[in-house]
Amino acid sequence: MTENKNQQNQTMVTEFHFSDFPHLENGSLFFFFPLLFIYMFIVVGNLIIFFAVRLDTRLHNPMYNFISIFSFLEIWYTTVTIPKMLSNLVSEQKTISFTGCILQMYFFHSLGVTEGLILTLMAIDRYVAICNPLRYAVVVTSRLCIQLSSASCVFGFLMLLPEIVWISTLPFCGPNQIHQLFCDFKPVLHLACTDTSLILVEDMIHAISILTSISIITLSYLKIIAVILRIPSGESRQKAFSTCAAHITIFLMFFGSVAFMYLRFSITVPPLLDKAIALMFAVLAPFFNPIIYSLRNKDMKEAIKKIFCSPKTSSSFGC
């Protein structure tokens, strides 16, 4: 009798409540419109980069192929969380179903892992291009890029699957208050009515994968910088630095905030700082991605200009 009662109590929680969003009377619209603008800019900006690469034959090479894939992933990466944030800012309920929460965690982190792998491939691509330019065309082929990109997507979505399936089987019998801006592993696991110490094993696997990517990217760019500094021509050196600067900036923003969020283990930080870090890699890094890749890259600017300066639109945009 007692066991049946406990089982009934454990199935009580069917939705979670985001407790840290302001109510309408407390100025939630003050946050709604900037976040809406950021989301629209992310979607439109990354779509422009994606189509600019696809439509301009001059950009049909491995580096820009990785950039276009990364931009495409950024759209879905932000779509998993930001629309729900916007809804929470104007809704009285501010809730998400149990299934919706599990799916949000799965797709957000799977897309994040895939993006991390794409950034790693971009670093390796630049390493081969700058440090071994004579072998670049032989080593980095279009077929290899497609295979590596596909493998990154498959690995990214399979890596998180065991953990997500395990979390979905945990009993949640209350409370149901999530103290974060979206469903994430740590705040959700704190609500489970059972021992979740096994998650430490998964945390170690994630930590190893993150540190491996960071190490590969860091070593690649250190060698790249060393080679660039030995280039005699100032113009060639500047062009090489300009090409890598955008990648390094995205790498620092994305992996810096991710490492601070998920590699601190038992170290606690103030709740406000925790949310600021989450906003950095969930909202701000994707926001700056189209700015960095369009403003700091001459070829990309010309490709984007071609989109808006076609014969039909040239008069409208003053081309």
Q: What is the total count of domains within the chain?
A: 1
- Residue 124: per-residue pLDDT: 92
Question: What pLDDT sits at residue 265?
Answer: 63
pLDDT for res 305: 83
Separation between Cα atoms, residue 176 and residue 14, nearest integer Å: 9
Higher pLDDT among residues 304 and 153, named by residue: 153
In a domain, 290, yes or no: yes
Q: Is residue 318 part of a domain?
A: no
Residue 212, pLDDT > 60, answer yes
Residue 269 lies in a domain: yes
Minimum mean pLDDT range among 42-46, 51-55, 303-307: 303-307
- CA 167 from chain center: how many Å? 22
In a domain, 237, yes or no: yes
Dump pLDDT digits (tens) for 30-43: 889 999 999 999 99
Across the chain, mean pLDDT equals 83
User: Is the confidence at residue 27, as pLDDT, over 70?
Assistant: no
Q: What local confidence, expressed as pLDDT, does residue 234 receive? A: 67
Per-residue model confidence as pLDDT tens digits over 13-26: 788 998 877 666 56
Residue 2 is assigned to a structural domain of this protein: no
pLDDT surpasses 50 at 2: no
How much is the pTM? 0.87
**Does some domain include residue 9?**
no
Q: Please give the span between the terminal C-alpha atoms of the chain, in angstroms, as a whole number.
A: 78
| Amino acid identity, position 26 | N
Q: What is residue 8's predicted lDDT score, i.e. its pLDDT?
A: 47
> Is residue 4 a part of any domain in this protein?
no
User: Residue 236's pLDDT band (boundaries 50, 70, 90)?
Assistant: low
Q: Over the stretch 88-99, which tens digit does the pLDDT of each residue have?
A: 888 888 899 999
pLDDT digits (tens, 9 = 90+) for 55-74: 888 888 888 899 999 999 99
Name the residue type at position 147.
Q
pLDDT over 90 (residue 210): no
Q: Which long-range contacts (CB under 8 A, 24 or more apart) does 297-300 make?
A: 297/242, 297/243, 297/246, 298/242, 299/58, 299/59, 299/64, 300/49, 300/52, 300/53, 300/59, 300/64, 300/67
When pLDDT is averaged across residues 117-143 and rounded to a whole number, the result is 89
Spatial CB neighbours of 76, under 8 Å, sequence gap ≥ 6: 107, 111
- 18: β partners: 178
Residue 258 lies in a domain: yes
Block residue for tokens 């039909």: 312
Q: What is the arithmetic mean of pLDDT over 261-282?
A: 79
| DSSP state for residue 283 in the 8-state scheme | I
pLDDT class for 192, splitting at 50, 70, 90?
A: confident
Angle at 95 between CA 197 and CA 268, to 5 degrees: 40
User: How far is Cα 117 from Cα 228, in angstroms, rounded to an integer?
Assistant: 24
Structural domain of 66: 14-312
Question: Strands of 15-18's sheet, edge to edge?
Answer: 95-97, 15-18, 177-178
- Any idea what the CATH number is for the domain that residue 214 is in? 1.20.1070.10
